Amino acid sequence: MTWMLLLALTVVTVASRVLPMALLPTPRGRIAEVLDALPAPLFASLAALALVGGGERPTLPVLLATAAALLGALRRSLALTLVCGIAGFLVGQALPV
């Protein structure tokens, strides 16, 4: 991947997220409720795919990372969810099996 391609992908990704927030009105009513509820099912589907997608039993670090990330997701903060997941994985790797 070239630097120009990486830069172009970055611009497209950022623009597709920032411009709608800056230019479109804030959703209200039922649409706002649906959009507010989307992160939980999306995270759950990604976690389920990561756990069973390969057809093998997940390892202890993966299970602990998933559990910790789910606990972090209760606070509805992506940064906290990521930190909790990474911390859970590192704890799982440090435990003797």
DSSP per-residue string spanning 18-44: HHHHHHSPPP-THHHHHHHHSHHHHHH
Q: What value does the CA radius of gyration of the chain take, rounded to a whole number of Å?
A: 18
Residue 3 tokens read as 């630097």
C-alpha span between 42 and 38 (Å, rounded): 6
Taking only the tens place, the pLDDT of each residue in 44-93 is: 777 777 777 777 788 888 889 888 988 887 887 778 888 998 999 999 99
Mean pLDDT for the stretch of residues 26-42: 79
Residue 45's alpha-carbon distances to 3, 24, 42, 87, 95, in angstroms, are: 32, 28, 5, 21, 27
- Domain layout of the chain by residue ranges: 1-36, 38-97
> pTM for this structure?
0.55
